[in-house]
Chains A and B, each alone.
Chain A
Amino acid sequence: MALLQISEPGGKSSAPAHRIAVGIDLGTTNSLVSASCGSGVEVLPDEHGNYLLPSIVNYSSSTEPVVGIAAKERLVDDPKNTIASAKRLLGRALSEVSNTPLFQHFDFDQEQADAAPAIITAAGVKNPIQVSADILKALVDTAESCLKAKLEGAVITVPAYFNDAQRQQTKDAAKLIDLKVLRLLNEPTAAAVAYGLDSKDQGNVVVFDLGGGTFDVSLLSLQKGVFEVLATGGDTALGGDDFDHLIADRIKQAAGIQELNLMDNAKLLSHANSIKHQLSDSDSVAVDFLGWSGSISADEFKQITEDLIKRTILTCRRVIRDAKLEVEDIDNIVMVGGSTRMPVVREAVEEYFGKAPLTDIDPDKVVAIGAGIQADVLIGNKSADDFLLLDVTPLSLGIETMGELVEKIIPRNTTIPVAKAQEFTTFKDGQTAMSLHVVQGERELVSDCRSLARFELRDIPPMVAGAAKIRVTYQVDADGLLSVMAEELSTAKTAEIQVKPSYGLDADAIEQMLQASHDNAKADMEVRALREAQIEAQQLIDAISSAKAVDGNLLSGDESLQIDAAIAQLQALFEEGTSAQIHELTEEINRVSSGFAARRMDLHIGEALKGETIDEVEQ
């Protein structure tokens, strides 16, 4: 027999090379990229030392698109070719977005109305997938020049409320630049991961994300290292900018200014923004604007922003109610987004939840850092102990084979993502279709496992039993989604199905299924042996009867009787016999029919060679 060597648990090689994967926070306003560098995960700066890449792309000429700060500068003088907030267009229909304030100044390509909304620019028609791809490309370039290595994959974050179409288009954007997506991670989950909350056993986490222009609240429930989004809420038109406007209004009011020209208004807003930032550290800030001098105190700021703050807290309350929880059930609050630096926001959150929110990690970077941590785990740089439970298949995934037996394709505890293929064949002569039954569990019989899905592969060319080659591929992506594909290799005819194996399965059910497989190990082995013996016997009987139909004249009467008797004996024992008895009788049939088989072989080889010269055969 082949000699074996001891391998590492889980089939990994003993010293895996460090592989490079990044976390990407693909934001509406700004995007960031992070990676594991020695001590921990850090956000990577571009060549100018900037961490935030404005999610803006300028398509002014037919040359390379301009991304980031340089594109932001073109917003005013080249608005028709400069696309910002493209994330808001992902997964939307043209009719939903063409008249919104953010996008109404663009010329949309009406031809592609049913696909993603496409904007006509000087550099051609650009849909949000292409815009996102250009932003991703800039981030990948930053990462590769910073790490001086080629990326092997990325974890990209998306809002928890993103639907399948929006998620798919985010993946499509990565595909456009050949970036392998290890997983799409929910933004709030990434933030919780950054704080290491996934290492706890369980708990409820509220992620409070107040960015420049959007506000999101998510409630996550953690069960054994797996996050589930219980509820989300928010306001797509509430953010830090609103606070700036309130300060600007207050100054206008105090200075008695009625109308301002565009230039002065912009100046006032930038002034207000800087006052807001200063108020995070000081009690009062002096203001000097268009000849008016005064000051704004922290108390005053608190008073004028009271309504905005109230709106954020009301959203929190609604999200908690949607999840059917009480405020006391919340174990941690994670702050995300630059606007959560404002003391007024932190105080209000602390007061409502009755506990201090987590603020140690830079709120602009926290999502990207969480994504980077996940990327590092998924690419395989962490030992098996660090793996989230989420990242292994809890039960084996298999396929039903003849005799209602289960052939396991992906064994349990395999780390995902994973793909495995196995070849199967037809059981009957001329079989043109194959029914594929995808099952989950550890037992040997289909009836003892969970049925996940069934589908059919049709149009298999008719061949003798066992001649067709059907390759069945099981693939589980990082999100736990299983795709099963069957392919008939001679015609490349395929059939495919997707299913979520974890659906409706909880930890208790998994435990029970495992226990049952241990308790029944012996019985299962016997059942498998019996079924296999029965199938082997049936195949032999089928083969002999079809051979007799074709070449019956090669049989002597005596031989024919012997074979028939042996077959009859086997058939009598077929249901009740043990695997050993069936096996023995199968051997017996083999023995009495061996002469017949040999003569058939001679005959058919003779026929095949008839009329050929030795030279031809030897070629």
Chain B
Amino acid sequence: MAISVTENAAKHVTDQLESRGHGLGIRVGVTTTGCSGMAYVLEFVDKIEVGDQVFEDQGVKIIVDPKSLVYIDGTQMDFVKQGVNEGFEFKNPNAKGECGCGESFSV
């Protein structure tokens, strides 16, 4: 079981953590919301909770709670530019469908 990040994503995470000044890493998770079932959550982490899984890739700590992990195991996180927009994108092998706005996915 693992979550990975691309080199570009790792760089942006590291930069953002540095400018924030504190934090152990980033949390990737899912919540049941949005129009097609699940939505991703991406947060800074100040505290590792009981049961959290910690992955390390490209020097970045990725923290996932066990409930979310089953939905996003094997996911690769990338940082991309789309026109004027830039941000993180998930390549999730478990996702079978996405809603139109791309906000949520289903497995």
Contact = CB atoms under 8 A, between A and B. Distances in A.
A452 interface: no
Contacts of A7: 41-44
B32 A408 contact: yes
**Contact size class for B?**
35 or more
B107 A525 contact: yes
Contacts of B20: 14
B86 interface: yes
Interface stretch (A310-318, A495-503, A516-524): A516-524
Given A3-B86, A3-B88, A6-B26, A525 B71 contact: yes
Nearest to A422: B33
Contacts of A179: none
B13 interface: yes
A421 B27 CA distance: 25
A411 interface: yes
A1 B41 CA distance: 14
Interface residues of A, number: 28
B64 to A, nearest CB: 11
Contacts of A515: 51
Contact of B43 (A8, A407, A514, A525): A8
A585 B51 CA distance: 38
Interface string A451-464: 00000000000000
Interface string A362-376: 000000000000000
A523 to B, nearest CB: 9
A517 B46 contact: no
Contact of B82 (A3, A5, A10): A3
B71 A3 contact: no
A518 B98 CA distance: 26
A9 B67 contact: no
Interface string B7-42: 000000100100010000011000110000100111
Contacts of A532: 37
Given A4-B40, A6-B13, A8-B43, A521 B70 contact: yes
A423 B66 CA distance: 28
A384 interface: yes
A2 interface: yes
A529 interface: yes
Interface in A1-31: 1-11, 14
B87 A5 contact: yes
A5 B43 contact: no
A524 B70 CA distance: 10
A524 B44 CA distance: 27
B57 interface: no
B2 interface: no
B55 interface: no
A90 B16 CA distance: 54
Contacts of B26: 6
A42 interface: no
B101 A9 contact: no
Given A408-B32, A411-B31, A4 B107 contact: no
A1 B44 contact: no
Interface in B38-86: 40-47, 50-51, 66-67, 69-71, 80, 82, 85-86
B102 A1 contact: yes
B5 to A, nearest CB: 12
Contacts of B89: 1, 3-4
Contacts of A407: 32
A525 B66 contact: no
Contacts of A216: none
A389 to B, nearest CB: 14
B42 A4 contact: yes
A187 interface: no
A4 to B, nearest CB: 5
Given A8-B44, A9-B43, A9-B46, A2 B102 contact: yes
Given A1-B89, A1-B102, A514-B51, A6 B32 contact: no
B85 A9 contact: no
A285 B90 CA distance: 81
Contact of B85 (A3, A384, A385, A514): A3
B42 A518 contact: no
A134 interface: no
Nearest to A3: B87
Contacts of B41: 7
13 contacts: A4-B88, A5-B42, A6-B43, A7-B43, A9-B46, A9-B47, A384-B46, A385-B47, A407-B32, A518-B51, A518-B66, A518-B67, A521-B67
Interface of B: 13, 16, 20, 26-27, 31-32, 37, 40-47, 50-51, 66-67, 69-71, 80, 82, 85-90, 98, 101-103, 105, 107
Given A1-B89, A7-B41, A14-B20, 19 more contacts: A1-B102, A2-B87, A2-B103, A3-B80, A3-B89, A4-B88, A5-B87, A5-B88, A6-B42, A7-B42, A9-B45, A384-B46, A385-B47, A407-B32, A411-B31, A442-B67, A521-B69, A525-B71, A525-B107
